[in-house]
Each structure stands twice: as C-alpha cells, then as structure tokens.
Structure 1
Amino acid sequence: MDSVTQAALGAAVAGVVAGRKCSPKILLAGAALGTLPDLDVLISYGDPVSDMVKHRGFSHSMLVLLPFSLLLAGFWHKWWPTRFSFRHLWLLIAACLITHPLLDAFTSYGTQLLWPFSVSVAVSSIFIIDPLYTLPLLLMLVAGLIWHQQMARLCRIGLVISSCYLIWSVVALNIIEDRVREQLDGTPLAGSPVFITPTPINTVLWRVVVLDGETYWEGLTSLLDEQPDVDFLAKERGSWLLAEKSVYLNMLESFTHHFVKYEQVGASIKVTDLRLGLAEYLPFQFVLASQNSEGSWAVTDPQRLEGPRVSPKHLPALWLRLLGNQDIDANLCHIKECPKPIHIGV
C-alpha cells in the first residue's frame, strides 16, 4: 500500500496499543514505524528486475521484524525512558511493524512474509491505493488530535472501519472468483491459470486475466453488472524466442507465476508483467534480450521501460464500467458500437 496509508495504519495501531497512554508523540512514532519496512526501496539490488522482485522481501518478513522489534524495544527502553513497560513497548513496536506487511499481502504485488523462504503472499483483494480504506484511519486520527482524551478510542474506531472494508474486499474477491469459475467450467479453459485483481481505488470493478498458451484473455466485471458473464478480449501473449532463459526471466516468471507476455519490439524482446496495471497500461516492462546486426538473439542485462500513462479521457469509461455499463470494452478505450460478448471457449 502507499506510504500515507501505511503511516495512518501505524499511527492507529500505536494509538490502540498505547491505550490510555496514547499521545500525539505516540501517534507520530507509530506512523514512522508503519512506514519503516518500505525503506527497502532505497536499496539497489543491481538491476531493475531484482529491484522489483526483491522489494517487500527481508524488510517485510515476520522472521525479521519480530526479532528486530525486540532489539528496537530494548534499545528504546534503555536510552529513552518511557511510561511503558518493556513488554508494552515491544508490543506497540511489533504491532506497528507487522501490520505493514500484513496489509501489503492483500495487494496483488506479493509480500514475502516468511523471507528467506520463497513464500510470496498476494491475496489481491485491494488496490495499492484505496481511499475507502485510508480515509477512516485519517479522519479518526485527526479527530483524536482534537479530542485528546478520546484518542485511543477514536483510533480503535478507525481501525475497525478500515478492517471491515478489508474483509469486504476479500468477500468481493470471492464473489468474482465464483463468477469467473462458473463461466469457465465446461470450456477448454476450465482449470487454466486465472488472475483477478481490483481496478484502481475501488473494490467494485475487477480485472480478470486468463492464460491460454500464447494467448491471454482479459476482461472487466463489476459487482453492479446485470449479466454476470465476463466479456473477454483475446490478446497475444507471445512466447520466449530464445532457447536460453536468463536468470532475470526466471526470476520474473516465478515472481508473477508466469503471468507475463513476451513481445518483440524492433531488435528487442520485451517482457511485461500482466498482473500489475490495467488493460494497455501495464507499468512493469523489461527488455531482456536483443538482436545483433547479424540477426542473432542473445539475453541481455535487464532494462526497464517506462510504461504508458493512463489517459484522462479513459477515466469516464472506467467509471461507467464500474457502474455496470457492459458496453465498455476491456481496453476502456471506447464504447463498443456493436456490443458482442466474447464467451471464452465457445
């Protein structure tokens, strides 16, 4: 999630754990602790693929954060005496640190909660920025700064509301999963890999990607749709053209669970993460091979390409699709002149 959300969550958690001892300083400390794990973005792993794959690694691991919280609590308790017992202080620090990766695990990016073990958790029920999750926390924190005596109680209210919204996101995801599974059953794509994620800043409109060899199917479905069937568009996924796979391609395929597409662009092969983004706006694109003057292909050191930016003219179409207008195609580029649903496998 974004830094504002993580800071707000850390502050609210600190306020709840502190209870009657809560103060503006405690909220500030909680906000700082809540954003601390994301400082790993300052670390360079030497190439753009590693920077992407290894983000949310050791700094988001329960196996690192728990002992780190003990060390930090011990250092804090010794050098900055507080009204908190060591146990209470450790609980506050640990709760602020651990809730950060737990929230991140609900996004589609993936979080290595058990690093160094290669276990990546990605529930994919909430977008990385969602005001409906963040605003209750921020409003209650502001209210707590105004009414100091109710600070802990207001933090608790904000945390309950945001947590209920997070639970709702999982419920909505299950509804969409059931909808897609029922549509694919009995078709050649039954059992194919499926990726489902919410579209930006909501949990009503969802993006669905289905892998089908060198093709992938992409569609949008809203909880407000009158017809539950997803209108899919078939898109070219391509394949890796070289006999040799680089270590970077293996990393990327493992990280994305093979939800990538391969595309020859001039004298380069571009590999794109299909999970993160929307329609044609996929931000994580890498050049992993190039062709020399003799026409031979060879793997290269990865180079990240700048992804296309969302055009403001497409935002109204996204809003209409969210409201259940099924005449908007999956590229969100235009209203279909002759709406004709594409049913997978038919």
Structure 2
Amino acid sequence: MDSITQAALGATIAGAVAGKALGRSVLVTGAVLGTLPDLDVVIDYGTAVANFTQHRGFTHSLFVLIPLSIMLAWGLWRWNPVISYRRWLLLTGLILVTHPLLDTFTTYGTQLFWPLGPPIALHSIFIIDPLYTLPLLVAIGCFLMRPSMPRSLVVGLGVSTLYLGWTLVAQQIISSRVEPTLAAAGLDDAPRMVQPMPFNTILWRVTAISDDRRVEMVTGFLDGDAPLTLEVFPRDPVLAEQALALEEGQRLAWFTEGFLHYEQVDGLLLATDVRLGVPGAHPFTFVLAADNGNGLEPYASYRQDGPALRPELLGALWARLTGAAPVLCLASLELPPPGEGCS
C-alpha cells in the first residue's frame, strides 16, 4: 500500500497498544515503524528489473521482520521503560508484521517468506484505496483530540480490517461472474487475475492470458445484467521465448507470474508488466535486450518512461464505476459511443 496508509496503520496500532500510557507521541513512533520496511526503495540493485523485483523483498520478509521487532522492542524499552518490554514487543511486532501482510492484498507482489518461495499477491485491493485508509485517519484524529480514550483507534482498525475482508468477498463474486465468459472464450483453465480498478472495490478488471493472447474485461457491482465486454490483446510466443532465455526475463516472469506483454520496437525487446495500471497506462516497461543484427544482445535492463495519463481518464473511470457508461475500452482508455462496443 501507499506510504500514507502504512504510516496511518502503524500509528493506529501503536496508539491502540500503548496510547493510554504514552499519549500522542506514540503515534509518531508507530508511523515511523509503519514505513520502515519500504526504505528498501533507496537500495540500488544495479538494473531496473533487479530494483523492481527486489522491492518488497528482504525488508518485507517475516523471517527478517520478526527478529527485527524483538531487537527494536528491546531498544525502545531501554529508551522508554514506561511500558513493559512485552508491550513494546507487541507494538513493534504488530506494526512490522502487518505492513507486509497488508501489502500482500495488493497486486505488486510481496516476498513474505524471502528468501523462500515466490512473491504473494492477492490482488484484492488497489495500492491506494481511500475507503481503507480513511477509518485509520479518522481514528487518529479522534485520539489526538482525546488521547485518554484510545478506543477510537481500535474501532478504526476494526473498520479498516472489515473493509479488507470485503475486498476478498467482492473478488470472489466478480470471479464467479466472469467464469462463464472466460469458459466460452476457451480460457477456463488459463492463468487469470481479478483486481479492482483504481481507488475502489466496486469496479473490477479481469485479465486472463494464454500463449498467443491476453483477454481483458471490466465489470462492476453497478452493471446490473449488462453483458460483459471482452477485449483481446495479441501475445507473441516467439518474443516470450526470447525473453525467457534471458536471466532478467526469467526473473521478471517469476515476479509477475507471467503476466507480461512482449514487443520489439526499434530493435529493442520490451517487457511490460500488465498487472499494474491498465492497458495504455502500464507504468512498468523494461528494455531487456537489443537486436545487434545477429540476434538479441542482453542489456542491463532499464525502465522506459510510462505514458502520461490523460486528465479525462478519471472522468471516464468514474462514469464506468457508477454505471453511467456500460463500457470502458481498455485498449484506448475511452468510453465508446452509446450502444457501441470496443473495436
């Protein structure tokens, strides 16, 4: 999740655990601890793919964070023994562990058990979701006004956690809705991803991939009985094979579970993570290799600049979310004329 949300979660947990004894100042401690795992963004691993796939790595691993919480609790207890070591341990442990656990609900991928196993991504919440963060901020505001009453923090945590549970329920409902359409397209057994569109859990994006195509759909809870619009994006198996022959191509496929689009532009082999953003506005495209005339020569990967978002896109997204527009074409990120589908 975004840094504001993680800081708010950390501050809320700290206040709920020790706010009555330590007062308002404990919110600062919680906010700092809540953002601590994301400091790995300052580490340069040498290439763009390495930086992309190592983020949410060792700093988000339970094998690292649990011992770290023990050490931090001891240091905080020695610094401020107003509360017991056990209470400090509860505070640091909950904050550091809930950070990566919350991240696993997003799409990016969190290496919760680094160095063992692949990243975990449940895809049930967008990286910025005001409805998750707002209860935490309101709870913090209430506590700042009445620090002797930390119960508001517990309520805020309860509401945000219930909302997180709702995201999983909503995801399952949408998954069931699109199942017949995917089966009719011959993709009933294809790898798929069901995730919310930006900033909400009402409108959802469904992606399924095969060797030669990727299928995208947008559907939501305000659509009624409107038929699903299915958009097809070609995939090039030859380019995929060439990319997977490269070490960084293998790393990228491992991290994204294969949800990649490959293309060759001006002799450059490009790989785009199609999980993040939406078609036409995917933020992560990497140059993996270049054609030197005798075949592809691997590059130290670098990231291409993502496309600029058009201001009218938010308006189109809102119209689609509310059901005012029954179709949003992902290929063009535009609303088609009334009664028409996507070309």
In the superposition, the TM-score normalised over structure 2's length comes to 0.94
Is the 2:23–2:148 Cα contact (8 Å) retained in structure 1? no
Aligned position for 2:75: 75
Is the 2:280–2:330 Cα contact (8 Å) retained in structure 1? no
Aligned position for 2:304: 305
Aligned position for 2:48: 48
Give the 3 Å change call, closer, same or farther, for CA 244–34 of structure 1 in structure 2: closer
Among the aligned pairs, what percent are the same residue?
Answer: 42
Q: How many residues align?
A: 339
Aligned position for 2:134: 135
Aligned position for 2:202: 204
Residues in 2 aligned to 1:51 and 1:266: alpha-carbon distance in whole angstroms: 25
- Secondary structure of 2:148's aligned partner: helix
The alpha-carbon deviation at position 19 of structure 1 amounts to 5.2
The alpha-carbon deviation at position 295 of structure 1 amounts to 5.5
Aligned position for 1:275: 275
The alpha-carbon deviation at position 316 of structure 1 amounts to 1.2
Is the 2:218–2:228 Cα contact (8 Å) retained in structure 1? yes
Q: Which runs of 5+ in 2 are unaligned?
A: none
Range moving further from structure 2, 237-246 or 136-145? 237-246
2:166 equivalent to 1:168:
yes
The CA deviation string for residues 244-288 of structure 1, in whole angstroms up to 9 with x for no partner, is 711100000111111101111111111000101112100110011
CA-atom RMSD in angstroms: 1.8
Match of 1:148, as an amino acid?
P
**Mapping 1:61-210, distance limit 5 Å:** 61-78=61-78, 80-150=79-149, 152-210=150-208
Give the 3 Å change call, closer, same or farther, for CA 99–243 of structure 1 in structure 2: closer
2:329 equivalent to 1:335:
no
Aligned position for 2:295: 296
The alpha-carbon deviation at position 229 of structure 1 amounts to 4.1
Range moving further from structure 2, 264-273 or 17-26? 17-26
The alpha-carbon deviation at position 330 of structure 1 amounts to 2.8
After the TM superposition, which parts of structure 1 deviate over 6 Å for at least 4 consecutive aligned residues? none
Residues in 2 aligned to 1:96 and 1:228: alpha-carbon distance in whole angstroms: 43
Range moving further from structure 2, 226-235 or 298-307? 226-235
Give the 3 Å change call, closer, same or farther, for CA 123–71 of structure 1 in structure 2: same
Aligned position for 2:215: 217
The alpha-carbon deviation at position 323 of structure 1 amounts to 1.4
In the superposition, the TM-score normalised over structure 1's length comes to 0.93
Is the 1:328–1:336 Cα contact (8 Å) retained in structure 2? no
Range moving further from structure 2, 133-142 or 243-252? 243-252
Aligned position for 1:234: 232
Give the 3 Å change call, closer, same or farther, for CA 110–261 of structure 1 in structure 2: same
Give the 3 Å change call, closer, same or farther, for CA 193–168 of structure 1 in structure 2: same
The alpha-carbon deviation at position 340 of structure 1 amounts to 4.1
The alpha-carbon deviation at position 184 of structure 1 amounts to 2.1
